[in-house]
Chains A and B, each alone.
Chain A
């Protein structure tokens, strides 16, 4: 793996070679949940500019351990820092969680196709997400809210396992207090003082206020949840070409060369991770895919 030293005025830093790893410094760490954390990254010098489209991801390299694809989860308007929210599941993410402020992390990207921001204009927007699936959608929410007048109703449906597993609580509180975004939270089960919705996130679809004929639905979460979500949206009358889902597969190169992330005839790193459902519906429900 090549690494690139950033210099303040280097062109490479502005338009990096897609395979070059850029070392970034961990500026801040936010402990989101027991196993989930956000890293706020900045370059070692002050030449920071990280443009990206909501829904894109970076390959993050924990030196000496390995590289993993992680969605960008920050506000696309704040290009001076890069934010990634990661849940610890295995070797690389465990090593990543042990990193400290000031440590260095290799980053290359951004890669892949993001959410359909243009097609969504003048439409009602349904953001349907569960668990850490909120991370790849958060940039989209920021994007929509900074251009609020371009969109119809915005409905955020978010499900977590329990109230303790709700991600980005501060953001959710902020969004809940807005009059121009309708938010419904639910948890699969709860104990204690919880007085909100209980039940799976897909059950919120039938009673949410949006126009199925004029909406774009963006779905992100565990694949099984997305399958049920698509069924609920279809039941509401949302056409397949109005549904977008974010897919995951193991990755290596991240740029469509190695074939690791193949999904049917497509590569998730290049043709996804965000797909229009109509383009992958035949492979989405096949077991062996």
Chain B
């Protein structure tokens, strides 16, 4: 528990969050391990968790008929994985698979949603932080969609 609390306290994602709120988060947290190839989550299933990745790498993929899985993003040590727990209908939009042995802290999203409802200050702090992540992902996705290396030849 102490280890969890310390890790969360030192994580840049939670920088500036007061000690009481960190304690509330710790109450929803647990350590998890995924072996290479394990699914962290699967498209369409209920999304009730997000992860602080401590070691390893997770590949986010979608399955394209006749093509198989296409990897569209990876999340690495130090990064946050998963935001569908925050947005109705709380379902994963993609598959996520461990590319290597991956250790993470799992935060129970259902538990956290309830705590955020009870304590709107906590809710606002959590929302603010996820808004940054979602905005970054959106920006990166736009750049990806431009397919800049495809037909452009600017070297």
Chain A interfacial positions (CB closer than 8 Å to B)? 71, 87, 89, 130-133, 135-136, 159-161, 165, 186, 188-191, 194-200, 202-203, 207, 220-225, 228, 246, 248
Contact = CB atoms under 8 A, between A and B. Distances in A.
A9 B119 CA distance: 84
B147 A87 contact: no
A201 to B, nearest CB: 9
A195 B57 contact: yes
The 10 closest A-B pairs by CB, nearest first: A131-B149, A222-B148, A161-B149, A198-B74, A195-B99, A222-B152, A89-B153, A190-B71, A222-B154, A132-B155
Interface residues of B, number: 30
7 contacts: A130-B149, A131-B148, A133-B155, A190-B71, A220-B155, A223-B152, A224-B152
Interface in B134-155: 136, 139-140, 143-144, 146-150, 152-155
Contact of B70 (A160, A165, A190): A190
Interface of B: 57, 59-60, 67-74, 76, 78-79, 99-100, 136, 139-140, 143-144, 146-150, 152-155
Contacts of A222: 148-149, 152, 154
Given A165-B149, A188-B144, A188-B147, A131 B155 contact: yes
B148 A202 contact: no
Nearest to B74: A198
B45 to A, nearest CB: 21
A197 B100 CA distance: 12
Contacts, number: 90
B144 A189 contact: yes
B155 A200 contact: no
Q: Pick from A135, A197, A248 the residue with the most CB of B within 10 Å.
A: A197
Contacts of B99: 195-196
Name the residue among B69, B99, B155 with the largest chain A CB count within 10 angstroms: B155
B155 A198 contact: no
B76 A207 contact: yes
Contacts of B100: 195
Contacts of B74: 186, 196-199
Contacts of B76: 197, 207
Nearest to B99: A195
A71 B60 CA distance: 36
A130 B155 CA distance: 8
A200 B70 contact: no
A159 to B, nearest CB: 8
A196 B143 CA distance: 19
A133 B149 CA distance: 10
B148 A130 contact: yes
Contacts of B79: 207
A190 B155 CA distance: 22
Nearest to A35: B153
A200 B136 CA distance: 11
B67 A87 contact: no
Given A189-B71, A194-B71, A198-B73, A203 B148 contact: no
Nearest to A89: B153
Given A160-B149, A161-B150, 13 more contacts: A131-B152, A132-B155, A133-B155, A189-B72, A190-B70, A191-B71, A202-B143, A207-B79, A222-B148, A222-B149, A223-B152, A224-B143, A224-B152
